[in-house]
């Protein structure tokens, strides 16, 4: 029996499209039917079937005319709802932006269109990317396809739920402190946060500008690499984007086995099932001749507190524009402009966004900036120095992606600090601007868990190669949660 189209990866779909065994319209129709059958997972905020089919017909016409645009031509890519796509909603899963339609394409949307990809719908997320469970979304919960009573992770929870349930073969997420990698781990996916500046942030709604990155999510390493190749490139509209001459990739010398650094002091408190999957993954690398090296990262313990100072400070600044006057929801009330702005923000933002704005405003306020923000920046610099020092001795650093597997929805909603610790292993890569990925490493009971790899600047190829070794050994590529 032929495999259902929704279970196939992007590379295989591309081969079938190229051989004319499949049309893009047939693929789009199959995925729309799959999305309709899994609507209870809450993966999409919106999905315009007519628009997707128009894009599919255009791809088929190109191919029929001998004008294929490459391996992604005709393949749907689902888009997180904080990445601008011309003519589609851009809500960040917030009441503040309800009804807003983007008048322009983000840089990554432009690059995907140039590659012939079909831009498929708007994916659910934590409001303004602030959260680790997609429970802060104003549009409703997203659910984990492997156990709908549990979180798919966040903030790119809709991206993860969409992929793991076979509603699209590829998706975009954004990652400020782990928001691609943590949901990838919880849903059995490959998710990559690129080196800061490798992918343009033009058209990404800002949360914390010095930390945010757009990145690929997929059900296999090969598909993740395929999508990354389409996303990466210089862009003069993003002054933090690396120039073309600064993009020389880091590669492993052909005559040397990889060295993996393991910061064992950080592993205390990891759930037993996650620890077993991690140890098993290390065993795979050891059996393949990789050298495992204990490394010390003493300042990594500062990562979570430093992050929640830096990120909230930048969020306070970035979200100041949503005041009901310049941007965003406007309250229906009379009175002076200050009251109008205050009411508009009170109505438009959810509790977690308000909490982070208040924290950020406090740490930047007169008399406190040196005590909090200045110290957080110093801690950030030390973390980057230590990670780069360790990566001068090893090729990559390995930990679990998340200390535990997916938790039950509502389980941590009343304790923000416990939620923040979801990103214990992922945050340092954002603070240091380093590439990092999560690749499936096994199961905790019936729930997926991931291995987290951090590499040197522009070490994406090295990380993907290491992840591919583990993927071959575990056989966990292309898994789709049934039904």
Q: So which residues are the catalytic ones?
A: 80, 155, 179
State the residue for tokens 């990670």. Answer: 387
β-sheet bridge partners, residue 191: 217, 438
Q: Helix 10-18 and helix 24-37: axis angle, to 10°?
A: 150
Q: What are phi and psi of 288, to 5 degrees?
A: -90, 5
**Quick check: helix, strand or coil at residue 244?**
helix
Cα separation values, 63 from 51, 235, 239, 320, Å: 19, 28, 36, 46
| Secondary structure in 3-state letters for 287-354 | HCCCEEEECCCHHHHHHHHHHHHHHHHHHHHHHHHECCCCECCCCCCCCCHHHHHHHHHHHHCCHHHH
Q: Compute the CA torsion angle 70, 74, 80, 81 (nearest 10 deg).
A: 120
Report the distance separating Cα 217 and Cα 191, nearest Å: 4
Cα 262 from chain centroid? 24
Burial degree of 276 (CB within 10 A; 0-12, 13-18, 19+): middle
Report the distance separating Cα 204 and Cα 321, nearest Å: 15
**Quick check: helix, strand or coil at residue 149?**
coil
Report the distance separating Cα 143 and Cα 14, nearest Å: 29
Report the distance separating Cα 462 and Cα 63, nearest Å: 33
The region, left, alpha or beta by phi > 0 then psi within -120 to 50, assigned to residue 12 is: alpha
Q: What are phi and psi of 422, to 5 degrees?
A: -55, -30
Cis before 483 (ω within 30): yes
Contact 192, 463 (CB under 8 A): yes
Q: Helix 24-37 and helix 49-64: axis angle, to 10°?
A: 160
């Amino acid at each position: 029996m032929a495999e259902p189209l929704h279970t196939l990866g992007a590379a295989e779909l591309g081969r079938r499209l190229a051989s004319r065994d499949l049309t893009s319209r047939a693929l789009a129709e199959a995925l729309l039917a799959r999305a309709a059958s899994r609507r209870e997972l809450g993966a999409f905020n919106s999905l315009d079937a007519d628009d997707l089919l128009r894009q599919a017909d255009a791809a088929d016409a190109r191919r029929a005319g001998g004008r294929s645009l490459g391996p992604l031509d005709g393949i749907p890519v689902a888009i997180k709802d904080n990445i601008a796509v011309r003519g589609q909603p851009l809500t960040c899963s917030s009441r503040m932006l309800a009804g807003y339609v983007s008048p322009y394409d983000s840089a990554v949307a432009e690059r995907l269109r140039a590659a012939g990809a079909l831009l498929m719908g708007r994916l659910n997320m934590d409001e303004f990317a602030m959260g680790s469970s997609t429970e802060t979304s104003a549009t409703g919960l997203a659910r984990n396809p492997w156990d709908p009573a549990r979180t798919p992770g966040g903030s790119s929870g809709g991206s993860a739920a969409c992929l793991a349930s076979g509603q699209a073969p590829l998706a975009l997420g954004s990652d400020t402190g782990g928001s691609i990698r943590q949901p990838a781990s919880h849903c059995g996916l490959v998710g990559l946060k690129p080196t800061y500046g490798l992918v343009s942030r033009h058209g990404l709604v800002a949360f914390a500008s010095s930390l945010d990155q757009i990145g690929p999510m997929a059900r296999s390493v090969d598909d993740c690499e395929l999508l990354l190749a389409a996303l990466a490139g210089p862009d003069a509209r993003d002054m933090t984007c690396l120039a073309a001459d600064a993009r020389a990739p880091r590669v492993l010398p052909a005559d040397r086995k990889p060295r993996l650094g393991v910061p064992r002091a950080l592993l205390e408190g990891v759930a037993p099932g996650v620890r077993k999957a991690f140890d098993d993954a290390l065993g795979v690398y050891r059996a393949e001749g990789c050298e495992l090296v204990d490394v010390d990262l003493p300042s990594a313990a500062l990562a979570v507190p430093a992050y929640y100072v830096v990120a909230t400070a930048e969020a306070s600044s970035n979200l100041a524009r949503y005041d009901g006057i310049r941007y965003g929801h406007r309250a229906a009330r009379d009175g002076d402009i200050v009251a109008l702005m205050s009411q508009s923000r009170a109505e438009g933002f959810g509790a977690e966004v308000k909490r982070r704005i208040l924290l950020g405003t406090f740490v930047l306020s007169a008399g406190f900036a040196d005590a909090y923000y200045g110290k957080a920046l110093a801690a950030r610099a030390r973390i980057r120095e230590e990670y780069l020092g360790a990566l001068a001795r090893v090729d990559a650093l390995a930990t679990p992606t998340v200390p535990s597997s997916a938790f039950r929805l509502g389980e941590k909603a009343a304790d923000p600090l416990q939620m923040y610790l979801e990103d214990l292993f992922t945050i340092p890569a954002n603070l240091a601007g380093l590439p990092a990925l999560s690749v499936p490493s096994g199961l905790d009971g019936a729930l997926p868990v991931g291995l987290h790899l951090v590499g040197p600047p522009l070490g994406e190829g090295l990380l993907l190669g290491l992840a591919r070794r583990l993927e071959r050994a575990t056989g966990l590529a292309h898994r789709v949660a049934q039904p």
